[in-house]
A = this chain, B = another copy of it.
Amino acid sequence: MKRIDFLSLVNNFKVVFLDSYGVLKNHEGLIDGVPQTIDYLRNQGIIIKILTNDASRSRQQQADLFKSLGLNGLTSSQIITSGTLARHFLEDKKIKGKIAYLGTENAAEYILHIDRDSIPIGEIDLENCDDISAFVFLDDEGFDWNVDINKVINLLRMKNIPVVVANSDKMYPVSPRDVAVGTGGIAKLVENILNRKFIHFGKPDSQMFMYAYNQLLSEGDYTKNEILMVGDTLHTDILGGNKFGLHTVLVLTGNTRESAVETLVSATGIIPDYICKSIVH
């Protein structure tokens, strides 16, 4: 666990995997200096991929959002989201029938983006739901918490169908002070009530790393040793990166504060290879 400047560290690698929130941006927009770092990486010929737990937007929408914030040149194929993996899962399983979901219509359109029927939880008639064959937790918006969480529970009590959590983050920051319950937190509540385990997508699970790595192998010859995983959260970015066999660096521009690093690393046993203040210097 060495303290080091990011720009001197990164030159030892051919590829960087970057978390998005807390590394590239925060609630106010891009973190100062990030566009310069991205330019530097490009100039050095270092390949960039972004791995983000998110299922509210399509990869193209993510790229467009970065552009609108002032970070140009990211293509949709560079951005790997947990929602992408959930969609591939549903496609691979060739599920027949309707897919029910909790979340926004936009998420359903772009994440499930399916030449098939999908139906938001609010429109389901529990007396008449034989045709529903899978359920997806997509987003923490787009429904009425007072009513629809109970409806999900009662649907899943009746129907033993595959349930997918397209973003396993329990919470996310909404301001320097406040957080909000995320898709993964709602899913956890439902799992807890039903005493069941759903299929979760997103870091720290290996699936997202594997997807990014396989994509990388289709572009050239790389070993895991040549990849640096950059994140602000021990339990997702660093745990996942470590387990996948990547070198990992914890940055302090997001979830993990400088003053808490030592305590947290020691309490969790999740040890990044390096610690950097930010990706800017």
Choice from B154, B189, B206, B270 contacting A207 with Cβ under 8 Å: B206
A171: chain B residues within 8 A (beta carbon): 153, 193
Q: Is the interface of A mostly helix, strand, loop or mixed?
A: helix
The answer to whether A160 and B198 touch (CB under 8 A), given A92-B225, A245-B88, is: no
CB-nearest residue of chain B relative to A175? B154
A239 vs B89: C-alpha distance in the bound complex, in angstroms? Answer: 13
A234 vs B146: C-alpha distance in the bound complex, in angstroms? Answer: 28
A146-B146, A205-B206 given; name 17 further pairs at CB < 8 Å: A126-B177, A145-B145, A149-B181, A150-B178, A153-B179, A156-B269, A157-B179, A160-B266, A161-B271, A163-B269, A179-B193, A181-B193, A188-B189, A192-B192, A206-B206, A206-B207, A210-B210
Copies in the complex: 4
A160 vs B210: C-alpha distance in the bound complex, in angstroms? Answer: 27
- Verify B153–A196 contact, CB threshold 8 A: no
A193: chain B residues within 8 A (beta carbon): 170-171, 179, 181, 185
Choice from B89, B93, B178, B185 contacting A192 with Cβ under 8 Å: B185
A198, A224, A243: most-surrounded residue (chain B CB, <10 A)? A243
Task: Categorize the interface residue count of chain A.
Answer: 35 or more
In residues 196-212 of chain A, which contact B (Cβ within 8 Å)?
196-199, 205-207, 210
- Verify B268–A93 contact, CB threshold 8 A: no
- Verify A197–B89 contact, CB threshold 8 A: no
- Verify B198–A269 contact, CB threshold 8 A: yes
A246 vs B263: C-alpha distance in the bound complex, in angstroms? Answer: 31
A116: chain B residues within 8 A (beta carbon): none
CB-nearest residue of chain B relative to A270? B197
A172 vs B188: C-alpha distance in the bound complex, in angstroms? Answer: 18
Is A9 an interface residue when CB atoms closer than 8 A count as contact?
no
Determine how close the nearest CB of chain B comes to the CB of A193; give it in whole angstroms. 5
In residues 248-268 of chain A, which contact B (Cβ within 8 Å)?
263, 265-268
- Verify B196–A206 contact, CB threshold 8 A: no
Determine how close the nearest CB of chain B comes to the CB of A268; give it in whole angstroms. 6
Determine how close the nearest CB of chain B comes to the CB of A28; give it in whole angstroms. 18
**What are 30 A-to-B residue pairs whose CB atoms are below 8 Å?**
A89-B245, A92-B224, A92-B225, A92-B245, A145-B146, A149-B181, A150-B178, A150-B181, A153-B181, A154-B179, A157-B177, A157-B179, A160-B265, A160-B266, A160-B271, A163-B269, A179-B193, A185-B189, A185-B193, A188-B189, A189-B189, A192-B192, A196-B267, A197-B268, A198-B269, A199-B242, A207-B244, A214-B214, A263-B263, A267-B267
